[in-house]
Structure formats: C-alpha cells, structure tokens
Chain A
Amino acid sequence: DAKTTQPPSMDCAEGRAANLPCNHSTISGNEYVYWYRQIHSQGPQYIIHGLKNNETNEMASLIITEDRKSSTLILPHATLRDTAVYYCIASTSGNTGKLIFGQGTTLQVKP
C-alpha cells in the first residue's frame, strides 16, 4: 500500500469549511483513497473513499487530483464535533483486510 503524508495538525473555525490535504505520490492504479476519523479513542469512523473521481456524501467531499498524487477531504461546515484525528489511507484493503494507518491530522475546530 502506498505511503500517505498528512500535516500533523490543523485548526478550523466553526462553521467554516475544513480542507484536509493528503499526499500519496506513490499510489498505484488500483489503490483507493480512504478517509477515516477517530474521535478521542473511539473506533475510527469511515468517512469517504474514492479512486479517481471526486466523491461526495452526507459527511464530506473528496477531491482527488488528476494525477492521483494528492487529495483533499472537505468538511463543508465544520462543527465542534468534527474535532478529531483524520486519517488518509491508500489501499486495496478489500484484498487483504489490512489498512495501514499513518499518524493522521489532528483537526481542532474552534468556536
């Protein structure tokens, strides 16, 4: 699985969009980009995933660059409850059942 690089921490004002970047320059053609978040030692929560097209669901949007070397998770209107560690993972986990977690980005949403 490709290595991902994320900033260790970010701040965002409540109500504003939170844009979390992720670099995955060695991603292979069959690897998907997954995003999870973990709130204060709870189990990681699945957010969204994509291959090469932009994706949107009720929680977030995922923008993947055309060369697939980086992506951005967008939380359109961040709330205090979005404060969490966000993990970006490049994986074909369906074949192995294995996700490789990095250190993630700690997002602090401030009032």
Chain B
Amino acid sequence: KAGVTQTPRYLIKTRGQQVTLSCSPISGHRSVSWYQQTPGQGLQFLFEYFSETQRNKGNFPGRFSGRQFSNSRSEMNVSTLELGDSALYLCASSLVGGARTDTQYFGPGTRLTVL
C-alpha cells in the first residue's frame, strides 16, 4: 500500500506570496493532520481534518488554513508569507481519527523556503 505523499517536495516563495501544499493520505485513511517543523520550535500541530471537516486546530494565525476533499486528500494554504514561515511542512494520515490507538503515518514533507 502506498504511503502518504506530499507535493511539492520543495518550494521557494517570496514574502507576501501565498502557497498551497497538497497531501494524499494512505488509501482508506480519512483523517489528515498537518504539522510545521522549524529548528527553533520543533514539530508543531497545525490542524486536523476528518470527513472534510476541521476537527482540531493548533495555535497558528489565520494565515494558515486547510481543507479536505471527499477523497480525503488535503491541502493547506499559507497566505501573505513571512520569513518565519520557512519550515518543513508535514502531513500525517490515520485510519478513522476516532479511536484511541489510531496511529498517524507521516509523509516526507514539503520544504518551504520564504525569501
């Protein structure tokens, strides 16, 4: 079974632009979570989607948003990019997102550089 895929793998943008990142979960998985990883803050939870609905959100500004489609694929968008948004963006999928032991499996990440 194919793992979690993320596109693009690398991205360079300039301040003020916006960016959209894509995540395809493992087949059959319905929950997708997004994380940001930076050297200073480590891995931080952005938000989680299940059945096209955002169920949980981390402590990030409204410039960070996401959505999930009926096939469980998810996108996240960052508007008005800032230098501090340079990071590795990771998505993880899990089967149903409602059981206590629902293991998350991560994709390879998208490396975003903001100039």
Contacts and interface: CB of A to CB of B under 8 A. Distances in A.
Most buried by B among A92, A95, A98: A98
A43 interface: yes
Contacts of B35: 99, 101
Contact of A98 (B48, B103, B107): B48
Interface string A40-72: 011111100101000000000000000000000
B4 interface: yes
A97 B108 contact: no
Given A41-B88, A44-B43, A97 B94 contact: yes
Chain A, interface SS category: loop
Interface size classification for chain A:
20 to 34
A9 interface: no
Contact of B106 (A43, A92, A96, A102): A43
Contacts of A95: 98, 100
Given A97-B33, A97-B56, A98-B33, A30 B45 contact: no
Interface string A79-111: 000000001000011111111111100000000
Interface string B30-50: 011101010000111100111
